[in-house]
Amino acid sequence: MTTKAPINERLHKRRKNKVKLSGWDIAFNIFNYTILSLITIACVFPFYYLFINTISSNELVRLGQIQLYPREIHFENYVQVFKLSGIADATLVSISRTALGTAWTVAGSAFLGYLVTKHEMWLRTLWYRLIIITMYFSAGLIPWYINLKNLGFLDNFWVYVIPGLVSPYNVILVKTFIEGLPSSLEESAMLDGAGYTRVFASVIVPLITPILATLCIFCAVGQWNSFTDTMMLMPSGKFYTLQYMLYRYQHEAQSLAALVRTTQNTGAIANLAVKQTALSVQMTVAMVVVFPILMVYPFFQRYFVKGIMIGAVKG
């Protein structure tokens, strides 16, 4: 009886504190959920449509008969596309540049954003203004290319990582976020003998995890989707990225489909359901390129929902 009494009291308080919705509130909620559901469907459906067309009969896809659900399901398209020359190497290059480029850019921008919040930093205002200026003024494409060429970055994998070590926009985001943190935490660590690097690694980084996760999303998507730098800085064909291969395959899909068909056996060619077409190659390569980056956002989503504050201020 003693254990049930507190439970009954809590249930009674919940019923008492429960807000009764009016008719207008219910109507607004229905309207709100309906609009959000339609937006969600509009965002998800293109990827779903692309996927069902890659696993359906290629002949039905060519005739435009695949709309809402797959028919004559098979996975031969993916098997054949991964046999295309350069796909495996391009996948490795894209994963490597995305992982390294994201890590370096986030680390560099976060530490620089922390430094420009320190009033004791030498010429802090000048350095910060110079960083901001680069957001609005650029030397142009040709000087950018000449500069990277003179630095020896042509046909060099590190051109994907080093030039983007610091992003002015990311520095601004980190600086603004850090300025909103309680300074007492940092002061307590410095009183215990910690330097700037130790304070940044042990105190600041755990507190700014949400903004770091946001920067990871921005940088990862940017690195994964980039292909113009590959087009201009890899003349010999080394270190092609998956996005650049997609760009090439979209323009060469007809010849690639014929190439893939020559690698299939006679029985497969006779089966129109798995016979490769230009459209099947385009859609399958597009799906291979898009799918990995779709997995990034769910991994970091929880950091957008709630912030993480570790530590306490001693009174």
Q: Which of 52-61, 76-85, 226-235 has the lowest mean pLDDT?
A: 76-85
For residue 7, name the pLDDT band (cuts at 50, 70, 90).
low
Is pLDDT larger for residue 281 or for residue 43? 43
- Closest of 268, 251, 273, 306 to residue 63, by C-alpha: 273
Selection from 136, 97, 103 nearest residue 233 by Cα: 97
Mean pLDDT value across residues 39-59: 85
pLDDT of residue 306: 45
Question: What pLDDT does 37 receive?
Answer: 92
> For the chain, what is the mean pLDDT?
77
| Lowest-confidence region among 34-43, 259-268, 289-298 | 259-268
What would the pLDDT profile of 121-160 be if each residue is shown by its tens digit?
A: 788 888 888 888 888 887 778 888 888 888 888 888 898 8
Q: What is the mean pLDDT of residues 271-288?
A: 70
Kindly report, residue by residue over 166-210, the tens digit of the pLDDT. Answer: 888 888 888 888 888 777 777 777 777 777 788 888 888 888 888
Q: Which of 281, 274, 295 is nearest to 59 (CA)?
A: 274
CATH for 87-239? 1.10.3720.10
pLDDT 10s digits, 59-103: 777 777 778 888 787 887 787 777 777 777 888 888 899 899 999
Average pLDDT over residues 217-242: 85
Rounded Cα–Cα distance for residues 68 and 196 (Å):
57
pLDDT > 70: percent of the chain: 79
Amino acid letter at 20?
K
Share of the chain above pLDDT 90, in %: 3
Domain boundaries, the chain: 24-82+242-293, 87-239
